[in-house]
Each structure stands twice: as C-alpha cells, then as structure tokens.
C-alpha cells in the first residue's frame, strides 16, 4: 500500500466499538468506567457504545459492584448466546467439530471416524450433513451461526479454499470451499490444517506477545505455520511453511515430492514407521517385533515410541536419528525467520518430554548465533481439537478484520 | 496488539497530511483537484493541507496548466531542498555515502577505501568526520538533514544498532549506533547491510506490489533479507535471513560458525575462491592459474568467473557446484516463506546471466509444489550503492511510520 488507508469518523467509531466489544469478551464482566480506563476512551463514548450493544441484545447486566457508598456501577458481560462460530477438522482418520459461543467457550465438540474420502463430491455432501446435524442437535438457530471454518490437510490455493493436492485423500484440484458453501447456510472458509493449528497454538500461548512463532506440525507428515505478531503468513500462493520438503540430508531417501532427503522423508511419522518396518523385517531383536505381533505392516510411529520408552535400543536409535533431523529442519526455519518461539506439535509430540529434549539438543548444534537468540522451544498444547479450533479462530479473525461481526 | 489502535481526529488529519505529502513526492507536480481525486479526499481538505505545507515552505508552485478556458489550476511540487537524508554503507573494502533530497533524488555520492577498521572507536571517529565533511561540502545546513542511516555488515542487535559480531571488522559487542550518534548532530540509525540492500531492492522493483520478497546477498558472505509487503522482517533478535548458515550439505566443509556444510561454506565468494585456490595448488591446468600469475593467494571469486567466461572447465565446474548449492539454499527460504519474488544480488551476481540460469535450474529441482507457485527469480539492481540507499530508506520509513517528518 503506497498511501495509508484513509480514516474517517465512521472508522473511528467502528474501532472504538470493536475495542469495547473485545474488552467485554476478554476482561468482562466489567463496568463502564473500567472499560473507558482500559481503552483510554471517554465515559460518554463508552456509554453510547454500551447503549447500542444493549439494544442489539449483545450484552447483559451482570449485577452491581457491592462496594462503597452512593450509586453502584453496573457490571456488564457479553451475552454468550448472541452468536456462535464453528470449527471443523477434516482429518484423514478423524473428523472433529467444535462449536464456540460468543465469548469463545467451546460449548460442544464431537469426533468420529472420517471414513471413505473418495469420490470427493460424495464425501463433501456427507460432511455438510454432519455439520448441519451437529449444529441442529445443539438447538442453535441458523441465523446465530457466524460461520464455519474448516481445516484441511492439503496443499491449498490461497484465499479461495481450493484444494490443489491432498495426497492422503486422493484429491487433486477440488474447489472444496465452493462446494462446501454450496450446501451450507452459513459463511464457510477453508484453510490448511497446519496453518489452523498454528493459529490456535499462537492464540493459546501468546495472547499478548509480539514476535514471530514457528509452529511445526510433526505427524504422519511434517508442515509448519508461521505467525508474525498475530497474523498468519500465508505466503503468495498459500503454501508457506513447507518445512517438510526442505532438504536436510541430500543423500537421504527419496521423498513423495520427488526430491531426496526432505525432512518429511527422514523424520515424519510415516518415515519412522517405514524405517522400523525395514529394520524389523531384517532383524527381530527388538521390542517392536513383539508389539506388532509379527505383523510388520502394523508398525506405526506410536509403536516405535512405545518400544523406545520400554528401553528398546533399536527404537531409540530410530527416534534419535529422527530428532536430529527434525532439529536440523527446524533450525533452517529459525535461521531464516528468527522467531521468538518454536512450538512443536502433532502426533510425534504426544510422547515423553525426552523427544523434545533430543530435538532441542540438535537445534543447539545447528542454529547460528545461538547466544544472541531469545528463543523458546516448546511443545504445543497437544489438543486433538487444535486444528478445528484454529480454523474457527481464523474465521473469527477474518470477520473481525473485515468488521463483519453482528455488533 | 490486542486492541486496535485508538483513532482520533488528530490522527485522521495527520494521515491525510502524510498522504498528500506522499502524493506530491510520487505523483507531483500535480494540482489540488488531482490530489483530491487520487486520495479520495474533499477539495477543501486538500486545500487546507496544501496551505499549511506552503506556509512551511515544503511545497512550491510549478506553474499553471495551459488548457481550456477559465481559471487555470496551479500545479504544485515538493520543494526538493526542504530537507535531505543520508545513507552510509560501511563496507569492509569500500565506504560509500549517498545524500538524497526531499523528493528522493540522489544529489551526491562518494566512495573511498574503508581502510583500517581496528580499533573500532578510532574508526568510528574517522567515519563521523567523513560524513560531516561530505555533507558540509555540499553546502547543506545541519538542520536540514533529517538523519543518517548506516548499513553495517554484521550480526546486529535488533533496534539498538549494536554490533554483536562483525567478523570482517574484528569487532565484538560494539555499540555502533550509540557511538556514531555521540559525535553526529543528526539522528542516526544502524542496520544490517543485507537488510538495507533488501529494502532498496524491494523499493526499486516492487513499489506497488504485494507479497513477500526474499532478497539474497551473494557476496564474500551470504545473507538474506525478508520483506513482507513493504516491511522488513527483522526477526526477534534482528537476525532473520541467516540463509548463509542454513546447512545445504551436512557432509560439506566446516563453516566459520562451527557447523558443517552451511551455504556460506560451500557457495560464497570466499568459498569459491578457497575451492579454486585448493584445486590450483594441486592442478595447474586451468586458466585461473594464468590469471593469478602464479600467486595462488590472489585468486578470488571474480577471477574464477573470468576464467569460466573464458571457457575454463575447472572454473565452470566450481561455479556450477556453487550454483546448485545456492539453488538448494534459496529453495529452503522459498519453501518456508512462499514469497512472490526472489531477488539475487551481491558480487557473485555481477557476472553473466548464465550464473542466474544455473541457480534457477537448481531451484526448479529443489522447490516443492513448483507448479502452484507464481515465483519470479531475478537478479537485483546490481547497484554498488544499494546498501547505502537502503539504509537511507529505512531511516525515512522509520520517520514516516513515527510521523516525524517536518511537515
């Protein structure tokens, strides 16, 4: 933008109103004078806004302060059922839905087996029905739903919610957002799962913090989300954060993307399982062989972690190598972005803290200018609903930025 | 920021004034009605601002439009000598100074041999004197200098302009900005050279473009600057863009930073020279041996490029390997950031376009989701003053953002 956005009286008013609303959500119940003080606004300005929100049944009285003499100030709170917003995580194995009320509380969650995802059109029809039914079962009117944010594990086109490629779903070039919108009576938005997860992790752990967060999703695949301040860096084509396809070992195994030695090809859940399968098929001296009860195809990353925790040397070695590679890969991201925080989440992180420690050690070795950094490397919230909640949050952030809340 | 910045009447007025000022710089000479149309402001608003700028001798009349009948509108332009701003590039071999006038034209440039940089305190005293003298020689009053931006090839602490480490200068922990400010009568700001160069490259090539730019400085060392929209991503500690210390070949040679196979250790100007020196010391069948006239220590990257352009196979092979590694390293940055543009600049890029082509080929191989990208990979402006001009621009951007221009 060459010129600063032109400001006018209407925007001044809207900004004040949105700030009062946010203050009521974040700091309420609260009285008018406290809002005015917090936001550096005049009491008459706050009173006028509060009157308007009252009229729209957006806020309610939460009683009076019982203190001192004279007139007692009225405490105000948001009406939690004034509106709702929904997040859906279209996971390859599990489908998850979360409904939030106006103050952000999760009032209902559900998860079920995702089932068959092919053909896409049929899957999407079933998905629409599930979302509509789950909202209906909660007794919420359609008009009160601000929208539904979907998280999809796919390469997405920026802004349009079109799936370019979803390898685990067998989908190529599917206009997912348009198709979903076609059968749903609420606004719909689709974003990449890892980006949604990153937005949620940033929200729960850094509400007031500045700086950038690199959120790395270590699961069956590997991806990352970059959040700068409170904004997701989507990238020009919506495909930022492809940490999984950064080469960490150019002599390493071939990756699905066609390159060799991508982080995903050497350290993802899939890669860990594959390495264990290969080793066990040649070498039975491991607890992994017992855990899979002789059926090598049943070996997954979880089993390798279980064996390692049981003291199995072979499993530990596989995971140690994965952790070193993850440390190299994450260091690439840190060297380039200089974030204030790395949040590691996803399936691989739902094991002992020793795996995080291994990754940290590898990062210590591979970061440049270690001593000048004030970097926190932490495990994520490990909430199985984080992608769904993140998608809901992206939807709300979008409505907020566009000033499209019903206030 | 949790709450949106509170807006008031004063800010509305300031934004309008700054926009009119920018419009006069960018699109002037221009008449009042055209400014109003361009900025969607009312004519009286523009007239009031113009009157104020006139009073401050900020603008001048540039005549009248000779067209039609009736009253002719007056054309307005910025008074170019109303203020000046300066950029200084503290290069290891060459010191460069550029003075800009109010409309951004470079009115004076100079460069000279940097000389001895140790001890830092003495070097800085000499530098201050040079800057003061050069400005004085141009006949510019001190009060008309808005400030001086310095570009320094060092690991810098964010915001403070403190040098953490400048290997080529032998400096560790030098409060460069404070020391410079101590002896100069104008506001001073110090930033990393590569970041300054990136800001300049972004400015000259993408004035109206959105998206992110990854500007890679391929010189004696390797670094990068990330510009998102028009903002430099400085990073939490001011050390973003350390692409030179991303590992591209973990079995590669040891790097100064302590790791092995960093991009800088395999593909920088220094690395290229070192490789050529090693090879020539064992193998005289190369044009490089002739060019250095038997003095192997004289071999530098420039000589290797010269030999390659003369058809020398050995030199070409060294540069081909460097280009492949640069392609891998730049791909890391692109996979993570998904920028709309990569600008490759610095000494290595001041050779034939074939080197850029080699880098592009390597990137084609190492980028994920190539087909979904709308990425431009281009050579930079190749202006030897780009770091100085970029530092001046960062200074101006800072004054602009803080609304500290004398308007």
Residue A246 in domain: yes
Mean pLDDT of chain B: 90
- A160 and A241 within one domain: no
pLDDT of residue A1: 43
Cα–Cα–Cα angle for B264, B195, B348, nearest 5°?
A: 40
Per DSSP (E only), the strands in B69-207 are: 74-78, 84-90, 94-101, 106-113, 145-152, 155-156, 163-166, 171-174, 188-192
B61, B78, B95 - which closes a domain: B78
Q: Which chain A residue has the Cα nearest residue B11?
A: A7
Residue A103 lies in a domain: yes
Chain A residues whose CB is inside 8 A of the B208 CB are 2
pLDDT at residue number A372? 66
Taking 70 as the threshold, does the pLDDT of residue A66 lie above it? Answer: no
pLDDT-derived band at B206, boundaries 50, 70, 90: low
Q: What is the 3-state secondary structure (H, E, C) of A169-196?
A: CCEEEECHHHHHHHCCCCCEEEEEHHHH
Residue B1's pLDDT band (cuts 50, 70, 90): very low
Q: Do B317 and B391 reside in the same domain of the chain?
A: no
User: Are residues A125 and A183 in contact, defined by beta-carbon separation less than 8 angstroms?
Assistant: yes
Q: Which pLDDT belongs to residue A284?
A: 67
Closest listed residue to residue A48, CA positions, set A10, A73, A13, A83:
A13
pLDDT of residue A125: 96
Q: How many beta-carbon pairs below 8 A join chains A and B? A: 203
User: A225 with A320, same domain?
Assistant: yes
Q: What is the pLDDT of residues A279-299, one digit of tens each?
A: 999 876 889 988 998 899 999
pLDDT, average across residues A106-118 = 92
Kindly determine whether residue B250 and residue A332, on different chains, have CB atoms separated by under 8 Å.
Answer: no
Please check whether residue A4 lies inside any domain of the structure.
no
Following DSSP, what letter does each residue of A368-400 receive, concatenated? TTGGG---EEEE----TTHHHHHHHHHHHHHHH
Is the Cβ pair A247, B8 closer than 8 Å? no
Whether B165 is covered by a domain: the verdict is yes
Predicted confidence (pLDDT) at residue A28 exceeds the cutoff of 90: no
Q: Could you read off the pLDDT of B134-191 as tens digits, one per residue?
A: 999 999 999 999 999 999 998 888 789 999 888 788 899 999 999 999 999 999 999 9
- Rounded Cα–Cα distance for residues A223 and A344 (Å): 10
For B338, the closest of A40, A235, A335 (CB atoms) is A235
A218 and A331 in a common domain: yes
* Chain A neighbors of B231, CB-CB under 8 A: none
| Closest by Cβ to A4, choosing from B18, B228, B242 | B18
Average pLDDT over residues A86-113: 94
Is residue B302's pLDDT more than 90?
Answer: yes
* A45 and A15 fall within a common domain: yes
**pLDDT score for B67:** 63
- A2 has pLDDT over 80: no
The residue of A16, A166, A214, A235 whose CB has the most chain B CBs within 10 angstroms, and thus the best one to mutate to test that interface, is A235
Judged by CB atoms closer than 8 Å, whether chains meet at A19 and B6 is answered as: yes
Contacts 24+ apart (CB under 8 A), A226-229: A226/A198, A226/A333, A226/A337, A226/A339, A226/B336, A226/B337, A227/A198, A227/A199, A227/A202, A228/B228, A228/B233, A229/B1
Instruction: Average the pLDDT over A222-238 and give the result.
Output: 87
Q: What is the tens place of the pLDDT at every residue in B81-112? A: 999 999 999 998 899 999 999 999 999 999 99
Read off the pLDDT of residues A299-319 as tens digits, 9 standing for 90 and up: 999 999 999 999 999 999 999
Residue B185 sits in the same domain as residue B254: no
In this structure, of A202-211, B199-208, B243-252, B305-314, the range with the lowest mean pLDDT score is A202-211
Residue A355, pLDDT score: 97
Considering only the beta carbons, identify the residue of B16, B155, B365 that sits closest to A372: B155
Tell me the mean pLDDT in the region B203-207.
Answer: 70
Q: Do B391 and B191 contact (CB within 8 A), yes or no?
A: yes
Q: Say whether B6 and A39 touch across the interface (CB within 8 A).
A: yes
Do B255 and B327 lie in one domain? The reply is: yes
Mean pLDDT (whole number) for A124-153: 96
Instruction: Check CB contact under 8 Å for B336 and A332.
Output: yes
What does the alpha-carbon distance between residue A132 and residue A140 come to, in Å, rounded to a whole number? 10
Number of domains in chain B: 3
- Cβ within 8 Å, pair A338-B239: yes
pLDDT, position B208: 52
Q: Do A241 and B18 touch (CB under 8 A)?
A: no
Task: Using the predicted structure, report yes or no on whether residue A377 has a pLDDT greater than 90.
Answer: yes
**C-beta separation of A342 from A214 below 8 A:** yes
pLDDT at A68 over 70: no
Is the predicted ipTM greater than 0.90, yes or no?
no
3-state secondary structure of B188: strand
Residue B92 pLDDT: 83
User: What is the C-alpha to C-alpha distance for residues A238 and B374, in angstroms, rounded to an integer?
Assistant: 11
Share of residues in chain A with pLDDT > 70 (%): 94
Domain match, B292 and B337 both: yes
Residue B204 lies in a domain: no
Q: For residues B132 and B260, state if they share a domain.
A: no
| B264, B395: one domain | no
Single residue among A52, A78, A104 that ends a domain in this structure: A78
- CATH number, position A44: 1.10.10.10
- Determine which helix (DSSP H) or strand (DSSP E) holds B269, and give its type and residue range: helix B269-282
More confident residue, B132 or A237: B132
Domain extent for A280: 207-379
Min Cα distance B228 → chain A (Å) is 9
* Partner-chain contact A1 B229, CB within 8 Å: yes
Inter-chain residue contact B9 with A12, CB threshold 8 Å = yes
Tell me whether residue A67 is in a domain.
Answer: yes
Chain B residues in contact with A11 (beta carbon < 8 A):
7
With CB atoms and an 8 Å threshold, state whether A257 touches B155. no
- Nearest residue to B397 (alpha-carbon basis) of B135, B17, B85: B85
Residue B74 lies in a domain: yes
Q: Is residue A2 part of a domain?
A: no
Asked if B259 lies within 8 A of A6 by C-beta distance, the reply is: no
One domain for residues A135 and A259: no
| pLDDT for B2 | 62
Last residue of a domain, one of B78, B108, B125: B78
Q: Is pLDDT of A371 > 70?
A: no
Q: Quick check: B70 and B94 in contact, CB under 8 A?
A: no
Residue A79 burial by Cβ neighbours in a 10 Å radius (0-12, 13-18, 19+): middle
- Among B216, B222, B337, B362, most A C-beta atoms within 10 A, so best to mutate, is B337
pLDDT at B68: 64
| Tens-digit pLDDT profile for residues B14-72 | 888 888 998 998 888 899 999 999 988 899 999 999 999 989 888 888 877 666 666 77
pLDDT at A332 over 60: yes
Same domain, yes or no, for A243 and A361? yes
Tokens linked to B303: 């000589």
Measure the CA–CA gap between A180 and A194, rounded to whole angstroms: 20
What CATH number should be reported for the domain holding residue A161? 3.30.420.40
**Is a pLDDT exceeding 90 seen at residue A97?**
yes
- pLDDT digits 0-9 by tens, A247-270: 999 899 999 888 899 999 999 999
What is the phi/psi pair of residue B381, to 5°? -65, -15
């Amino acid at each position: 933008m060459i010129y600063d956005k032109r400001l006018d009286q209407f925007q001044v008013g809207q900004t004040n109103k949105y700030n009062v609303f946010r203050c009521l959500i974040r700091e309420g119940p609260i009285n008018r004078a406290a809002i005015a003080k917090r936001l550096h606004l005049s009491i008459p300005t706050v009173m006028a806004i509060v009157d308007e929100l009252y009229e729209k049944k957006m806020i309610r009285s939460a009683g009076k302060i019982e203190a001192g003499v004279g007139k007692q100030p009225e405490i105000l709170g948001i009406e939690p059922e004034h509106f709702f917003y929904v997040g859906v995580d279209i996971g390859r194995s599990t489908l998850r839905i979360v409904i939030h009320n106006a103050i952000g509380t999760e009032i209902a969650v559900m998860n079920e087996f995702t089932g068959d995802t092919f053909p896409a059109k049929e899957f999407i029809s079933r998905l629409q029905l599930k979302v509509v039914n789950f909202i209906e079962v909660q007794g919420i009117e359609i008009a009160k739903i601000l929208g539904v944010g979907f998280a999809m594990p796919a390469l997405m086109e920026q802004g349009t919610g079109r799936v370019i490629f979803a390898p685990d779903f067998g989908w190529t070039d599917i206009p997912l957002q348009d198709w979903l919108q076609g059968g749903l009576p609420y606004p719909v938005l689709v974003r990449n799962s890892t980006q949604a997860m990153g937005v949620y992790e940033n929200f729960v752990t850094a509400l007031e913090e500045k700086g950038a967060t690199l959120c790395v999703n270590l699961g069956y695949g590997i991806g990352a989300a970059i959040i700068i301040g409170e904004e997701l860096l989507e990238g020009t084509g919506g495909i930022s954060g492809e940490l999984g396809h950064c080469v960490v070992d150019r002599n390493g195994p071939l990756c699905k993307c066609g390159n060799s030695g991508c982080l995903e090809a050497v350290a993802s859940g899939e890669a860990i399982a594959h390495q264990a399968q290969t080793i066990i098929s040649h070498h039975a001296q491991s607890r992994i062989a017992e855990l899979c009860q002789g059926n090598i195809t049943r070996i997954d990353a979880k089993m390798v972690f279980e064996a390692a925790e049981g003291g199995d040397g072979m499993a530990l070695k596989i995971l140690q190598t994965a952790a070193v590679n993850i440390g190299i890969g994450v260091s690439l991201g840190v060297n380039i972005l200089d974030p204030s925080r790395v949040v590691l989440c996803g399936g691989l992180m739902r094991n002992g803290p020793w795996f995080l420690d291994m990754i940290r050690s590898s990062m210590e070795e591979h970061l440049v200018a270690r001593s000048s950094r004030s970097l926190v490397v932490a495990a994520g919230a490990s909430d199985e609903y984080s992608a769904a909640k993140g998608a809901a949050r992206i939807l709300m952030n979008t409505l907020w930025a566009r000033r499209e809340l019903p206030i």
